[in-house]
């Protein structure tokens, strides 16, 4: 990713817009669009002319049109739905989050050090700015979105693999469903570019690091190469359907 020092000024402005927002909003996925509308209106740089906005459950993400990076900021709270725990009802509440962007930095480092070659299939994440918010930068990928019809079970699609290893990657946790089309592209990339060792390293990394939440919203392509751009995994609240490793 390429950027110059003027980016720091832009993220400082971004930080102050998020922090100074005069409202009751929490910086979380529920209110993320409100933040984006506000930032879009007030920011000299992070507005619709220059960027688009995306988010998931744990990160705020700004995707500049003309740059080869994205800016990611971990949300500072998460709304956890109320639920029954046996007999008792536990009220919904905001929970403070671990820093899922820092987890991406850690996992990138882990991949590079312990699974050489695996990092080729991860959009690189770096810590960019430390203030009242921690702000991160990551290689920009072209996303691919897969829409399912009501019969479109991904479990059917993965049957093309007879390898236990590949199956265990695909089934490595609740919510983990590597999109079959992307996975096929990954294997083809390895075969065509003589990079199967790197592909294997990447699969080892996913399994041994237990990266979950592998789904179509978390994968993309950089110059045609399949990459994973959300590799923090997801630590769901205890008792939810999500695996907390």
Ligand X SMILES: Nc1ncnc2c1ncn2[C@@H]1O[C@H](COP(=O)(O)OP(=O)(O)OP(=O)(O)O)[C@@H](O)[C@H]1O
Q: In the complex, which residues of this chain contact Mg ion (CB under 5 A)?
A: 56, 218, 230
Q: Which is nearer to ligand X, 103 or 203 (CB)?
A: 103
Q: Which is nearer to Mg ion, 103 or 190 (CB)?
A: 103
Rounded least distance, CB 217 to ligand X, Å: 4
Gap between the Cα atoms of 139 and 123, Å rounded: 5
The string of DSSP codes covering 90-122 is: EPPEEE----HHHHHHHHHHHHHHHSTTGGGGB
The interface mask with ligand X, positions 80-119, x = CB under 6 A, is --------------------x-------------------
Q: Which is nearer to Mg ion, 143 or 184 (CB)?
A: 143
Site for ligand X in 28-57 (CB under 6 A): 54-57
Q: Which is nearer to Mg ion, 60 or 205 (CB)?
A: 60
Q: Does 216 bind ligand X (CB under 6 A)?
A: no
Q: Does 218 bind ligand X (CB under 6 A)?
A: yes
User: Which has the closest alpha carbon to 218: 115, 120, 123?
Assistant: 123
Alpha helices in the chain (DSSP H): 6-20, 32-42, 100-114, 154-157, 164-170, 180-192, 196-208
**235: Cβ contacts below 8 Å, ≥ 6 apart:** 98, 242, 244, 245
Residue 120, contacted partner among Mg ion, ligand X, none, CB below 5-8 A by kind:
none
Select the residue whose beta carbon is closest to ligand X and give its number: 56
Rounded least distance, CB 74 to ligand X, Å: 8
For residue 42, list its beta bridge partners: none
Count of other CB atoms within 10 angstroms of residue 92: 11
Secondary structure (3-state) at 39: helix
Gap between the Cα atoms of 97 and 144, Å rounded: 27
Rounded least distance, CB 63 to Mg ion, Å: 13
Q: Does 213 bind ligand X (CB under 6 A)?
A: yes
Give the residue, chosen from 10, 120, 140, 177, that forms a contact with ligand X under the rule CB under 6 A: 140
Count of other CB atoms within 10 angstroms of residue 24: 6
Rounded least distance, CB 214 to Mg ion, Å: 10
The total number of residues shown for the chain amounts to 245
Judged by the rule CB under 6 A, the positions of this chain that interact with ligand X are 54-59, 61, 63, 70, 100, 123, 138-141, 143, 213, 217-218, 220, 229-230, 232, 234
């Amino acid at each position: 990713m390429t950027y110059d020092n003027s980016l720091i000024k832009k993220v400082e402005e971004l930080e102050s817009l998020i922090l100074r927002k005069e409202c009751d909003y929490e910086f979380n996925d529920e209110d993320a669009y409100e933040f984006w509308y506000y930032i879009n209106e007030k920011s000299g740089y992070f507005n619709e002319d220059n960027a688009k906005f995306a988010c998931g459950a744990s990160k705020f993400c700004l995707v500049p049109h003309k740059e080869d990076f994205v800016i990611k900021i971990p949300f500072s709270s998460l709304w956890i739905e109320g639920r029954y725990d046996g007999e008792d009802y536990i009220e919904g509440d905001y929970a403070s989050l671990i820093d899922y962007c820092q987890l991406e930095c850690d996992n990138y480092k882990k991949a590079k050090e312990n699974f050489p070659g695996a990092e080729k299939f991860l959009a690189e994440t770096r810590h960019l700015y430390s203030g009242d918010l921690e702000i991160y930068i990551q290689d920009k990928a072209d996303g691919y979105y897969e829409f399912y019809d009501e019969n479109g079970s991904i479990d059917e699609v993965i049957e093309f693999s007879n390898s236990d290893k590949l199956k265990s990657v695909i089934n490595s946790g609740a919510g983990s469903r590597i999109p079959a089309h992307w996975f096929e592209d990954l294997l083809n990339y390895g075969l065509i570019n003589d990079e199967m060792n790197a592909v294997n390293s990447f699969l080892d990394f996913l399994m041994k690091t237990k990266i979950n939440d592998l789904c179509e919203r978390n994968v993309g392509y950089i110059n045609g190469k399949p990459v994973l751009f959300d590799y923090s995994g997801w630590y769901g609240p205890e008792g939810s359907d999500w695996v907390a490793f």
